[in-house]
């Protein structure tokens, strides 16, 4: 074991936040230092969180070195060290590994930190069982979070106090909006809509590019047109007070080109096809949660 495992419990820095009651005062422990953990830490540090309030446990020396160099956080290869130091413990490991990691962590979390899991497909109720009954917030961020423009669905077990919900929303809010759902089953829908959602938009961009090329555009021009159109449409939908349906109607002139395209899509039952696809994703999410939570 390297001397990284001898790190002391990290200090609080309340004096740094007295002028901003919304800033975090708790020590954050991350189990796993991959892309999602790095994005969350980077977002929090950019918002003013002192890096000294963060400790990251990761088994890979290269990962620890990069985290320390890029974000100035404390690092360790020992999960228990990070867990004992943390008032908020963020689990950012692969779903297939989480049961073993959580079971091993149980003796190190007797001080009952708030646990936030960003591992896809692991139910909070299963995680509670593995950890010995801790309050758990389950989160489903999506990949745009890696660029600071994601969105996350959150579910809290009943024993998470209001302050814990606020903490979780602040932490996930570092990479985009954090939205609460009332039932854990709703997380399957969150996974289907936003967790898998970027792939649907990438597919649409891909199809627009291919159609543009078939109509005679160069691949470069077709790509740029598709990507910039997707960006512009998403920006309009994000800031406009109108619904997506209203925005669609506003750009659809009667007898025009847009109407011709949309009529063809509607005739092909694109809404039914898409609804069935999202339902399949939600069903698969539930199946994976059953499989990963066994035992």
Taking the model in full, what pTM does it have? 0.86
CA distance linking residue 68 with residue 59, whole number of Å:
14
pLDDT at 31: 97
pLDDT at 25: 86
> 256 by DSSP, 3-state: which?
coil
pLDDT-derived band at 22, boundaries 50, 70, 90: low
pLDDT-derived band at 294, boundaries 50, 70, 90: confident
pLDDT-derived band at 7, boundaries 50, 70, 90: very low
pLDDT at 177: 96
CA distance linking residue 36 with residue 40, whole number of Å:
6
Q: What angle do CA 236, 37, 187 make, to 5 degrees?
A: 60
pLDDT at 265: 97
pLDDT at 209 over 70: yes
Q: Is 18 left (phi over 0), alpha (psi -120 to 50) or beta?
A: alpha
The predicted-structure confidence for 169-186, as pLDDT tens digits, reads as follows: 999 999 999 999 999 999
- Give the chain's domains with CATH numbers: 3-187 (3.40.50.720), 197-288 (1.10.3730.10)
Strand pairing report for 152-156 and 136-141: antiparallel
- Residue 255 DSSP symbol: T
pLDDT at 12: 35
Per-chain mean pLDDT for the chain: 91
Between 183 and 17, the more confident residue is 183
Mean pLDDT for 60-75 is: 94
pLDDT at 87: 95
The predicted-structure confidence for 239-248, as pLDDT tens digits, reads as follows: 999 999 999 9
pLDDT at 241: 96
pLDDT at 250 over 90: yes
pLDDT at 295: 57
- Residue 9 DSSP symbol: P
Window from 5-19, 125-139, 142-156, 190-204 with minimum mean pLDDT = 5-19
Structure tokens at 281: 């994703």
Residues 215, 218, 222, 225: is their CA dihedral positive or negative?
negative
pLDDT-derived band at 293, boundaries 50, 70, 90: confident
CA distance linking residue 157 with residue 128, whole number of Å:
9
pLDDT at 23: 67
Structure tokens at 7: 């790190």
CA distance linking residue 174 with residue 37, whole number of Å:
11
Mean pLDDT for 137-157 is: 95
Tell me what percent of the residues of the chain surpass a pLDDT of 90: 88
Write out the DSSP string of 131-152: HTS--EEEEEE-GGGGGT---E
pLDDT at 8: 36
pLDDT at 24: 79
Write out the DSSP string of 35-64: HHHHHHHHHHHHTT--GGGEEEE-S-HHHH
In the block, residue with structure tokens 């918002």 = 47
Do residues 155 and 138 touch, judged by C-beta distance below 8 A? yes
pLDDT at 14: 33
Mean pLDDT for 193-210 is: 97
The predicted-structure confidence for 215-246, as pLDDT tens digits, reads as follows: 999 999 999 999 999 999 999 999 999 999 99
């Amino acid at each position: 074991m390297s001397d990284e495992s001898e790190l002391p419990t990290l200090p609080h820095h309340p004096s740094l936040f007295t002028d901003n009651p919304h800033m975090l005062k708790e020590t954050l422990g991350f189990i796993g230092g991959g892309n999602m953990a790095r994005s969350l830490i980077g977002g929090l540090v950019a918002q003013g969180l002192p890096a000294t309030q963060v400790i990251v446990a990761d088994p890979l020396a290269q990962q620890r070195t990069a985290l320390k160099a890029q974000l100035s956080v404390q690092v360790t290869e020992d999960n228990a060290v990070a867990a004992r130091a943390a008032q908020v413990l963020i689990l950012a490991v692969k779903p297939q590994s989480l049961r073993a990691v959580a079971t091993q962590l149980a003796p190190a979390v007797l001080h009952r930190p708030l646990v936030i899991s960003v591992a896809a497909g692991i139910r909070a109720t299963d995680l509670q069982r593995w950890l010995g009954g801790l309050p758990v917030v389950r989160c489903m961020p999506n990949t745009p979070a890696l660029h600071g423009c994601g969105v996350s669905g959150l579910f809290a077990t009943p024993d998470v106090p209001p302050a814990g919900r606020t903490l979780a929303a602040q932490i996930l809010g570092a990479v985009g909006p954090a939205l609460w759902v009332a039932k854990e089953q709703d997380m399957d829908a969150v996974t289907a809509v936003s967790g898998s959602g970027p792939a649907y938009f990438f597919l649409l961009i891909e199809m627009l590019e291919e159609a543009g090329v078939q109509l005679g555009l160069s691949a470069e021009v077709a790509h740029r047109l598709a990507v910039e159109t997707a960006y512009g449409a998403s920006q309009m939908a994000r800031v406009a007070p109108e619904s997506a349906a209203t925005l669609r109607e506003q750009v659809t002139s009667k007898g025009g080109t847009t109407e011709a395209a949309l009529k063809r899509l509607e005739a092909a039952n694109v809404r039914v096809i898409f609804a069935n696809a999202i339902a399949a994703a939600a069903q698969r999410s539930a199946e994976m949660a059953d499989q990963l939570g066994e035992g």
